Amino acid sequence: MADKRKRATAENDSDEDDNGEQPMEAPRKQAQAALAFRKRLKPDNAILATVRKIADSAKSYKPQTQSLADLNLPNACKEVVDLSCASVMAEIEKTIINIARSILGGNGFGYSVPSRSSANQLYVQELDRIVLKDKASFRPFANMASVRKTTITTRILQLVHQLCKKQIHVTKRDLFYTDVKLFQEQGQSDSVLDDVSCMLGCTRSSLNVVASEKGVVVGRLVFVEDGDRIDCTKMGVGGKAIPPNIDKVKDMESDALFILLVEKDAAFMRLAEDRFYNRFPCVIITAKGQPDVATRLFLKKMKTDLKLPVLGLVDSDPYGLKILSVYMSGSKNMSYDSSNLTTPDIKWLGVRPSDLNKYKIPEQCRLPMTDQDIKTGKDLLEEDFIKKDPNWHKELEVMVKTKEKAEIQALSSFGFQYLSEVYLPMKLQERDWI
């Protein structure tokens, strides 16, 4: 028994990892890789000179002036516009008067609701965004399949009319609690709210119903919110919550050179705590995951008012790329409002699939893609907004082929501050974005 224990001990002592390296060899090589990139960094002034060049070129940015009507598309499309409270009330009253006439004429009533299904979506390459085709379905009250949804639609119209009359805003959660028995789930009232926005031809923010605060911003940005002057360099690690009423945000000022769009809250907090925006003047913004309407509107406003380039930092997985595409080309769920919600020409800074080998991300930090991940990646390869950019398409092909993904936090394997001290400065130095 003693001999067996000795042999086992000797075998354990001579064990190598899967790569044929001694147990301490992998961490040593990992540290050497991190040090190699750190040594390649130029002084901050040299990196800033590079960034100033792209910032200067972005100053010539002009908002998209083409409209759907200018393109003569084969399909008729529907878009919404910002309406005043008085205009929204007038549209609702017109709808209800038509319903009353229909009932008095013995025809019952219903609503013609634009279809927001995937089949009714169209990607317009000239505008680089998804739009809604002008196809509608009838939602009758005198039908068991649609009676409840028609009732919800009528109730939402009533509530929105009240909000516009009083000129006050409520959250989607507040709206749900006005009639819980009817709505049953917030998802149902939220969905009908989008239907109502399409029906009336106005943006969802015109209905005076907003989402709860989610996104945050920090860095070299000053703006006025409802009369109060906000300095985003003095908002601490947590940043300034993006106001749900973007129409109350005025007079944006900034000496930033770029906008850094971050997918996750963890990366945002790291950059905020390290005061990355002081070392490299920028504005850092995140929606903490899936983009919400307020964050998308705020980003669009910054891009338009400040004329700054936008660089995106997301996880190296299909969902990170989908999040980036929602900011840039819009979501299918809200394609009817894509002209107001999309920010064109966002550059994919990282973390890209090619970065995993370039920056020698350790194997233990690379996660195997699930079957659903691979399916999502392959579906994205077929999307027009991916096909239009060969570089994006190539990166996604690498991801699907290697079946590997990684989070932004994988960079922390080289040190907690590697993201702000090495990775991002190196990306800026090499102008490594697509």
Amino acid identity, position 10: A
For residue range 167-181, list pLDDT tens digits in order: 999 999 999 999 999
Q: Which of 394-425 are b and which e, b meaning 16 or more Cβ less than 10 Å from the residue's Cβ?
A: ebbeebbeeebbbbbbbbbbbeebbbbbbbbb
From 61, 111, 123, 177, active-site residue: 177
Q: Is 177 a catalytic residue?
A: yes
Instruction: In whole angstroms, give the CA distance from residue 391 to residue 94.
Output: 49
User: What does the CA dihedral 98, 100, 106, 110 come to, rounded to 10 degrees?
Assistant: 60
Q: Which of 20-34, 211-225, 279-293, 406-420 shows the lowest per-residue confidence on average (mean pLDDT)?
A: 20-34
What average pLDDT does the chain have?
87
Percent pLDDT > 70 in the chain is 91
Q: Going by DSSP bridges, is the β-strand pair 170-171/209-210 parallel, antiparallel, or unpaired? A: parallel
Mean pLDDT of 80-104: 92
Quickly list H helices, 336-389: 338-341, 355-358, 371-381, 384-387
Instruction: Say if residue 28's pLDDT is above 70.
Output: no
Instruction: In whole angstroms, give the CA distance from residue 431 to residue 425.
Output: 10
Q: Which two tokens mark 178? A: 């006005």
For residue range 113-161, list pLDDT tens digits in order: 998 888 888 888 888 888 888 888 889 898 888 899 999 999 999 999 9
Instruction: In whole angstroms, give the CA distance from residue 89 to residue 324.
Output: 35
Chain-centroid distance, C-alpha 350: 15
In DSSP notation, 178-221 reads TSHHHH-SHHHHHHHHHHHHHHHTB-GGGGTEEPPP--EEEES-
Around Cβ 303, how many Cβ atoms within 10 Å? 21
DSSP category for residue 418: H
Q: Which of 167-194 are b and which e, b meaning 16 or more Cβ less than 10 Å from the residue's Cβ?
A: eebbebeebbeebeeebeeeeebbebbb
Instruction: Say if residue 26's pLDDT is above 80.
Output: no
Q: Which of 28-42, 220-234, 331-345 shows the lowest per-residue confidence on average (mean pLDDT)?
A: 28-42
For residue range 233-286, list pLDDT tens digits in order: 998 888 999 998 888 899 999 999 999 999 999 999 999 999 999 999 999 999
Chain-centroid distance, C-alpha 332: 13
Give the per-residue pLDDT at 395: 93
Give the per-residue pLDDT at 402: 93
Give the per-residue pLDDT at 76: 79
